[in-house]
Structure 1
Amino acid sequence: MKDIIVIKCGGSTISELSEAFFQSVVAMQKSGKHPIIVHGGGPAINQLLEKLDIQSEFVDGLRKTTADVLETAEMVLCGKVNKQIVTSLQQANGQAVGLSGCDGNLLQVQAINEEKLGYVGEPTNVNTELLISLMEKQMIPVIAPIGMNEHGTHYNVNADSAAGAIAKELGAEQLVFVTDVDGILKDGQCLEKVTADEIEAFIEDGTIYGGMLPKVRAALNALTETLQSVMIMNGKSTTVGQYGYVSGTTIVKSAVGQSVS
């Protein structure tokens, strides 16, 4: 299937996404594209953890996930946030279906480092047939990043990593990270375009840190011959439908004129 666009919506932006954003996603689909939304839900998870008095911490930009944190994250992501997005798309006259990575064995995962991170997994396989069958029926898949291993154990999956894996396995045309910052910042300025080598240097010197780390790593992992650039953009200032005009940072494999193989 061609013209697949994977849109990852960060949890910090979801509550501020406008009607125009959802209308642009529906318009994108009606024009012949095939959008998929993968979402986070960090702020909503934090609120419920605080209400339940459950401690949580981040390690290298990833939420350390105990059994209690996992249960809370699953409730928020698969329940509240997922259905909010599905509802908003349907109010924009689209047809959407909400899924978690456990449904239909959509996201098969393995633990990253249980001692260090607990129940945090990384995708090892994506059930692309399920997603393609939904898109062929003109449905917009909305995916909560909870995955499952071969033994049926559930894991919290970083939404950036989930989106990157889905884009790569589907051979997506575009991958867009919709977040609450303008892109990759250096000395207070948003970088318009960066290469894989530049990103490695920015990680090394501390320009890229915290929550931006999983985004850029997922972007680099997603780059293929089909998907040669990934955009990080601010969802509060624009709509996703205006691909030629959005501001943000575009990540590419290499500089113009160099091999991208």
Structure 2
Amino acid sequence: MMTKKMIIKIGGSTTTQLTPAFFDTLKHWQKLGYQIAIVHGGGNVISDLMSQLNEPVEKINGIRFTTQKGIDITKMALLGQVQPSLIESFRQNGVPAIGLNAGSNQLLTGHVLDQDTYGYVGTIHQVNTQLIQKMWQQNLIPIIAPLAITNEGQWLNVNADTAASAIAKYLKADKLYLLTDVSGIKVSGNILQQLTPKMALELKKSHIITGGMIPKVNSALHAVQLGVHHVHITDTVTQPGTVVTL
């Protein structure tokens, strides 16, 4: 049986996505020989915590402007709330998982995107794939927070779709699922079953792909151009949604 690798990005408001069908699908994929890693977001939890701690929430081009205090709050939200509850859901559903973050043996190394514009927001340029492989050897699903650390030790906030695409690229994953709140990309009311780079360009020009879908589509295109075979944009692992391929 050939091992295949799959990365699944789930949103922060994931309770709706983590249905019994979600876990059954994961178990089914594991039986088929897939090694799975999860990258989780947490936008709502971060925003709530920021409001409570009087840190302004500001988004530029769909990216959260992040100060040093913002980084501290993001870590609290992702590593203190979102990740532990996810690991617990996996445990309750009989899927052994382990939480990992950028600080786990240099899991995700990154650099600042554009400090003047976004503050401490980064992009990933190195992934400790051996650590993830080790978890897989122990039949654990790594659950990874979308944060990176620079070579100098500065923590960075990373868009979860971007983080999932980077991890998929470095692991040479076969499939990447970017779970979102819509069942795929809609064109005149119908879900687009397939999306190529050329089609994406046209749909962006004609403003059919807009808002938060833009970074998602860009991440998906980036991933397929770097060798990930199929990227699914969907709201559930049980439906293929829109499949991005070359």
Q: TM-score range by the shorter chain?
A: over 0.9
Where do residues 131-150 of structure 1 align in structure 2 (5 Å cutoff)?
A: 131-150=132-151
Change (3 A) 1:57 1:189: farther
Contact 2:51 2:57 in 1 (8 A): no
Contact 1:60 1:213 in 2 (8 A): no
The aligned residue for residue 205 of structure 1 is 206
Contact 2:184 2:242 in 1 (8 A): yes
Where do residues 64-83 of structure 1 align in structure 2 (5 Å cutoff)?
A: 64-83=65-84
1:220 Cα offset (Å): 1.1
Where do residues 1-261 of structure 1 align in structure 2 (5 Å cutoff)?
A: 2-12=3-13, 14-16=14-16, 17-224=18-225, 226-235=227-236, 240=237, 242=238, 246-253=239-246
After superposition, give the CA deviation of every residue in 1:169-214 in whole Å (9 maximum; x if it has no partner): 1111110111111111233332111111111222233222221122
Distance 2:202 2:225 in 1: 21
Distance 2:93 2:27 in 1: 7
Distance 2:158 2:199 in 1: 26
RMSD over aligned Cα, in angstroms?
1.7
After superposition, give the CA deviation of every residue in 1:101-139 in whole Å (9 maximum; x if it has no partner): 221111110111000000100011111111011101111
Contact 1:38 1:163 in 2 (8 A): yes
Distance 1:205 1:223 in 2: 22
Distance 1:213 1:36 in 2: 24
Gaps of 5+ in 1: 254-261
Partner SS for 1:104: coil
Change (3 A) 1:194 1:97: same
After superposition, give the CA deviation of every residue in 1:145-168 in whole Å (9 maximum; x if it has no partner): 111010000000111011101111
Over the matched positions of the two proteins, sequence identity in percent amounts to 36
What's the TM-score once normalised by structure 1's chain length?
0.88
Aligned length in residues: 244
Change (3 A) 1:110 1:226: closer
Distance 1:250 1:117 in 2: 30
Change (3 A) 1:141 1:249: same
149-158 or 219-228, which moves further after superposition?
219-228
Contact 2:185 2:192 in 1 (8 A): yes
